[in-house]
Amino acid sequence: MANEIVKMQTVPLNLPSGPAHAIMIAVNVERPEESASFASHVIERFKVQRLCSPPDTSVLIVSVIGPVDFTAFTEAWIVAAGTDKALREFLSRMQTAECVHGTEAGDVIATASLLASGDTA
């Protein structure tokens, strides 16, 4: 089985600060040795989704199921934000950008911010 993006959607939110939108990305990782390169693919798809999302999109949640190299996957986002101007701009507008590694049963194994320190809106 290959690594795959299972679902990517923009959904409305009611935050304490008012209405907003979130991009929710669900991925399955079956090849942990490809975690960093797969993250690059997810990043490219995220940028397209963000372009198609409302201006008030300020939350990103990436949920990962499977034997991912979680550090490699999340660090790929941080490294890419340092060189990819579009990604850096999109992430700078996020109040929250989190990656959650979980099980199919819904248990959380790990979480990590996809924002470099100081990159929040």
The span from the CA of 35 to the CA of 73, in Å, is: 5
Q: Where are the domains of the chain?
A: 4-113
Q: What is the CATH number of domain 4-113?
A: 3.40.1350
Closest-CA residue to 4 (of 32, 33, 38): 38
CB 37 within 8 A of CB 29: no
Q: Over its length of 121 residues, how does the chain's per-residue pLDDT go in tens digits?
A: 799 999 999 999 998 888 999 999 999 999 999 999 999 999 999 999 999 999 999 999 999 999 999 999 999 999 999 999 999 999 999 999 999 999 999 999 999 999 976 444 4
Q: What is the pLDDT of residue 4?
A: 97
